[in-house]
Structure 1
Amino acid sequence: MTVHTGGCHCGNIRLGFSTELDPPQIEIRACQCSFCVRHGSRAIADPDGRLVISVKDQARLRRYQFGLRTADYLICRECGVFVAAIARDDEARAIVIINALDDRERFNQEPIRVDFDAESKAQRQARRRTHWMPVEMSFG
């Protein structure tokens, strides 16, 4: 497994994205919802990989929800960086935002524009269970 590290600008949130895939093998998605468009979001996930999120100061972590409220969009309150999204269903699953990775330039293929606005809550949860990756969070 290769671990791609990263985090927010101020260092409060650190990321470790583990995958056996090389960056060109990972599909990059550019969600077209208004939140992701405004953040210039390019997201990746490996269902066979794992994302580890470490937060130093939980008070400086913002969990933003919108739309169907099926995921927490993680943003640092201190520096404003959007780092990941976590869906909580039977098991927590996540995507990581490429711009928050230290080696983001390795993920340079053209993103696929996706629009999930027409999905029902059940469809969205099913898609995330299939395409997003396991995640663990630690604090302190």
Structure 2
Amino acid sequence: MGVHSGGCHCGNIRLNFSTTLDPAELEVRACQCSFCTRHGSRAAADPNGRLAISVTDRERLQTYRFGLRTADYLVCRECGVYVAAVAGEGEDARAIVIVNALDDREQFSRKPIPVRYDAENREQRLARRRSAWMPVEIRGL
């Protein structure tokens, strides 16, 4: 399994994305919601992979919820970098990683697929995330 590390610019939030998939073949999505377009988001997930998130200073982590309020969007308060989104809690938590926050982001070279999720209701959104997002472990919260 390959590990792709990264995090926010100031180093408060660190990421380790583990996957057996070749980053050049991994689907990258460009959500078209107002939050993601403003951040230039390119997101990826491997349902068979794993994301580990480490936070050094919890006070410098901003969690943001909007719309259907089904996920926490993780942004560093210090440097402003959007690193991941997390839905659910504990063993059921699932996440996407923001490719732009990875150190080897250039390896994720597929053209991002524009996606819109506006037509989903709360249940549909949660079901999609359970099946398409990856398990996540968060340390430091």
What TM-score, normalized to structure 2? 0.97
Which residue does the alignment assign to 2:20? 20
Show structure 1 runs of 4+ deviating over 2 A.
none
Question: Post-superposition shift, 1:107?
Answer: 0.6
* Identical residues among aligned pairs (%): 69
Which residue does the alignment assign to 1:127? 128
Contact kept in structure 1, 2:60 and 2:78, CA below 8 Å = yes
Which residue does the alignment assign to 1:41? 41
How many residue pairs are counted as aligned between the two chains? 140
Letter in 1 for 2:103: D
Q: Which runs of 5+ in 2 are unaligned?
A: none
Letter in 2 for 1:92: A
Which residue does the alignment assign to 2:113? 112
Q: Output the aligned Cα RMSD.
A: 1.1
Question: Post-superposition shift, 1:21?
Answer: 0.4
Letter in 1 for 2:130: R
Q: Secondary structure at the match of 2:131?
A: helix
CA distance in 2, matches of 1:79, 1:68: 26
| 2:58 is equivalent to residue 32 of structure 1 | no
